[in-house]
Amino acid sequence: MLATTQSRLASGKKVNTALDNPTNFFTAAGLDSRASDINNLLDGIGNGVQILQAANTGISSLQKLIDSAKSIANQALQTTVGYSTKSNVSTTIAGATADDLRGTTSFTSANAVGKVVSNGTAGGASPITAATTLGATSAALTGTAAPNGAGTAASLSPTLTLLGTPSATTIKANGAPVDGDTLSVNGKTVTFRAGAVASAVVPAGSGVTGNIVTDGNGNSTVYLGDNTTPAATVQDLTNAIDLASGVQKVVIANGVATPSNSSGTNAAIAAGVLSLTTGNGSDLSISGKSDLLNALGLTTSVGSGTTTVTKARTIGATSLGSPIADGSTLNVNGKTITFKNALAPLAANVPTGSGVLNGVVTDGQGNSTVYLQNGTAQDVLNAIDVATGAQKATVGPSGTFALGVGTGVPSQIVAGALQISTGTTSDLTVSGTGNALGALGLAGNTGTNTTFTATRNAGLGGVSGTTLTFTAFKGGTPVNVTFGDGTNGTVKTLAQLNAQLQANNLTATIDANSKLVITTINDYASATLGSTADGGTIGGTATSSLTFTTAQPPVVDTVSQATRANLVAQYNNVINQITTTSQDASFNGVNLLSGDTLKLVFNETGTSTLNINGTQLTPAGLGLPTLVAGTDFIDNAAANKTLTALNAAGSALRAQASSLGSNLSIVQIRQDFAKQLINVLQTGSSNLTLADTNEEAANSQALSTRQSIAVSALALANQSQQSVLKLLQ
């Protein structure tokens, strides 16, 4: 028993031979044998994992190479098309534009009718006529009796000076203007300056009258002199006011201004009372220092502040109900009509190249000035007709102009409304500044519109109704194009034409000379329009009204083609790398990217296996042939074809990577399962054969103790026998 226990302790097993426990011994031997067999399979499974990982690494590299090839193909798309001129056909359609391909269109003049305009009759219900004046009746602005500088009542007179020691010869002292003071009269400026007019520098185009320098447009400078030698008088000041308000006008020659009455009544002083008039072309508005206007008897206000004195004209049955303001304009089809508060000049005084007719001066180019003091509604119509071309203005050598037949009937006033002829040159567009649009009834019913428009009556275009046919070009859709007004499938604009040509791989352009060019799109820049191989033959009824040129082959751009050939070489380098990469993705002699098959065995009987079939991921297997310079990348269609193949190859790689990933997951699961199963088998075997070391150690100790006691007992027994023998002796 002690020997058995020591054997168990030494081996750690309680079953060491079949004699110990035949059942457990042979069962454990079977479990150990199976565990050993499975353990031998783990090496093959581990190699399988590495083979799959090598293939996966190869696919990742191939995907990067595919992306690099895509980048090269996209560069080809972004490179200038390889032809300086693409194949095309062209024709010229007289008058055609991008907005209307039909060409020259016949137009007739149309009438555009504005809102009824009333004259100044009370009630506002009396319509104007062609004879209605643009100006109104002049009205008087009468001041109050004003004292002179000595304070004598009602002593204001034309001869009083504006400067000097206060006395009976000057105006009231605190009303005297000083150097730099100004008056604003109807938007014109009257400036006061110290010194004598004789020493003044007279600008070109200006002239001197009395103590005034005037520019002929209503702006004046009044020279006051000084206290010891006063110059300007009240008469000079009133003349300056009349020039600004339009009551007086001047003719300037050689630096001398000769004034004369223009409208209304010239300023006058009687019994110390100053009377001004508005003229008939504009209301009167005077703004200036209160003391000065008080000294003239025009206001009761005093001080150095500004006071404004106004007087409106009288509006009656012969004038517009809402007179046109000085400086207002009309812009008619890009031409400008300006309204001016003055009389129309004499023929001898109009600028060279211009002419005058009644109240209108035109420059011969369609731009006119209508003079408010003697102009009528008919003059406005004439100016509009000259701007639209409805009537032709012929300027004579004498400075006058005559109206002749233009592109429309003369405009007229019907029942108080302006009936404007559009002419045939262009559609009508009228805008304006000031109050001209509203005063003439062209601002709409609410009076707030900023433009007045009308279109001409249009006839058919030059090729309207013509149909073109194109056979299929490079696999596109055959198309029939009919020129028309853009409705019911017809084509009017270049954009509409391109929309129909797009499906047939064609595009169109038109230049400033009305040349219509139909050409191939960039995708098929290498193709020849109308050829047997490529298609796109033009036909239809075009032969009856349009003659197209014969399409020629495209002209090669050598620089661009050299660039594209270089891209082909770069692409082919990438393709070569795909070949070598797929060849190098092997492990232990197995390459799944070259079409090899991997068989893995998972159990000792060989009944649990996994077969993994590889795929030829070479350029040929991926559908990526080597490109040829001068054939591939030659135009966008060729580049797009390569991109399509690259996208398909990328999809194939992703599918293969997914399959490998799934198989790798299976193999790794079976590898883990085998390791765990070996542990289970070895544990089961151990449970059947291993000894309990604690128990065996206790047994060993007990047996050793028994042996020791037995030896001691034997020794004692031997001693007792010796003692008996001694007694017997």
3-state secondary structure 100-138: CCCCCCCEECCEEECCCCEECCCCCCCECCCCCECCCEC
How far is residue 243's CA from residue 393's CA, in Å, rounded to a whole number? 31
Give the separation between CA 152 and CA 412, rounded to whole angstroms: 59
pLDDT over threshold 90, residue 591:
no
Residue 540 above 70 pLDDT? no
Amino acid at 250: V
Each residue of 236-260: pLDDT tens digit?
999 999 999 999 999 999 999 999 9
pLDDT digits (tens, 9 = 90+) for 478-523: 989 888 888 988 999 999 999 999 999 999 999 988 899 999 988 8
Using the predicted structure, report yes or no on whether residue 12 has a pLDDT greater than 60.
no
pLDDT > 90 in the chain, percent? 47
DSSP state letter for 158: T
Alpha helices in 368-444 (DSSP H): 377-388, 436-439
Burial string for 185-206 (b: 16+ CB within 10 Å, else e) reads bbebebbbbeeebeebebeeeb
Least confident of 34-43, 327-336, 557-566, 584-593: 34-43
Question: Which of 33-47, 48-62, 94-108, 683-697 comes out lowest in average pLDDT?
Answer: 683-697
Mean pLDDT of 560-576: 85
- Spatial separation of the C-alpha atoms in residues 624 and 641, rounded to whole Å: 11
Q: 86: burial class by Cβ within 10 Å (0-12, 13-18, 19+)? A: buried
Q: Specify the pLDDT at position 53.
A: 83
Name the more confident of 72 and 439: 439
pLDDT digits (tens, 9 = 90+) for 157-189: 999 999 988 888 999 989 999 999 999 999 999
pTM across the whole model: 0.55
- What is the pLDDT of the chain when averaged over all its residues? 86
* Cα–Cα dist 352/397, whole Å: 9
**Res. 4: pLDDT tops 70:** no
pLDDT computed for residue 542 by the predictor:
42
Per-residue pLDDT of 648-681, as tens digits, reads 888 888 888 888 878 778 778 877 887 787 787 7
Query: Residues 422-445: pLDDT tens digits?
Result: 998 889 999 999 999 999 999 998
Residue 276: band (very low, low, confident or very high) from pLDDT cuts 50, 70, 90: very high
Domains present along the chain, CATH in parentheses? 1-82+557-691 (1.20.1330.10), 83-104+462-554 (no CATH), 111-117+323-457 (no CATH), 140-311 (no CATH)
Q: What is the CA radius of gyration of the chain?
A: 57
